[in-house]
Amino acid sequence: MTTLLANPPFHADAAWKNALNAYFPEFMQFFYQKLAQKIAWEANYETLDKELQRFTQESKVGKRLVDKLIKVRLKNGVECFLLLHIEVQGNYEAGFSQRLFEYFYRLHERYGQWALTLVILADDRTGWHPKNFSIQVCGFQVNRFQFLTSKLLDYRGQEKALLEQANPFGMMVAAHLAALQTRTDPNARYQHKYGLTRFLYEKGLARERIFNLYRFIDAILTLPEEFEIRYNSSIKQLEKESEMEYITSAERIGMEQGLEKGLREGLKEGLEKGRQALLALLKSILKGKFGVLAEQYQQQLDEADVETLRQWGERIFMAKTLDEVF
């Protein structure tokens, strides 16, 4: 009898958030190529997520995987900037278009300029493809707000071409499609997850690119425990064949969750206690992986703020030496 994967934990929110943080230019080039060509990528772009969260927290309807607000500079002028509101939407939402319109005018109120709204529809509803919000009064159209959308389901059947792309979002889209396709079939999901992971090794990518793509695959293609054990065993064998250092998903997830839990629990009692909780956990993980910490590293840890500690915590999973962490 086939084991059913009923409502598996589907960590697409973290996956897409990490992907956009790591590969924003590649995201634009993959989904919105014409717009990406207008951006002056040599100039620094600015992430304004905290500003966006001030009013998006009020709207909790639907499964928004990612909300981002990014300020970019355009090629046609030194002082010509554009605000990009990016949303990855995880499922159907009845008032979706109206909510985007509300964000649109509230962003204008806040910044005094109009933003361009970009939407990735990551849901499994084939017929849902919103593109605008029209306001009518007594039969008269008084406003029409449009936004640019890209539907992941539209890439079905193109998986081979997606994997051949140099852009990392080719593989990410293929992984997301596999997750939607295998919601109730753990064996098929295992085959997809192992196949994509093996492809990462065989493609000869840099370690950082492999790790970032693996994090996405691991968060999207979640497995029941028995299949996860089988997957980790297969990957360990793949590790030996490819002679590459690897951290299994179970080990990595445990460390990441430990870091986050330690910080959350500490923050309940104050920022400094949160920093101390994170510091203690980070030291423990570093000692467990690298052995005794030299005095210079101890001092750096003791003097670091919360954000720096979190950045170092993320680097642990890739680093082969302490220097690579710090």
Evaluate if residue 1 carries a pLDDT over 60: no
Mean pLDDT over 90-107 rounds to: 91
Question: What's the Cα-to-Cα distance from 158 to each of 94, 177, 190, rounded to whole Å?
Answer: 29, 10, 20
Q: Are 85 and 107 in contact, with CB atoms under 8 Å apart?
A: yes
Question: In the beta sheet, which residues pair with residue 68?
Answer: 86
The tokens for 326 are 């710090």
74-81 long-range contacts, CB within 8 A, separation 24+: 74/38, 74/39, 74/40, 75/38, 75/39, 75/40, 76/38, 81/113
Burial of 12 by CB count in 10 Å (0-12 exposed, 13-18 middle, 19+ buried)? buried
User: pTM of the full predicted structure?
Assistant: 0.75
Tokens 């490819």 belong to 242
Name residue 49's amino acid.
Answer: D
| Strand locations in 174-227 (E) | none
Residues 113/79, Cβ–Cβ less than 8 Å: no
* Helix or strand run (H / E) with residue 191: helix 186-202
pLDDT in tens, 73-82: 998 765 689 9
What angle do the packed helices 271-290 and 249-267 form, to 10 degrees?
A: 150
Q: 303-316: per-residue pLDDT in tens?
A: 887 777 777 776 77
Which of 180-184, 257-261, 266-270 has maximum average pLDDT? Answer: 180-184
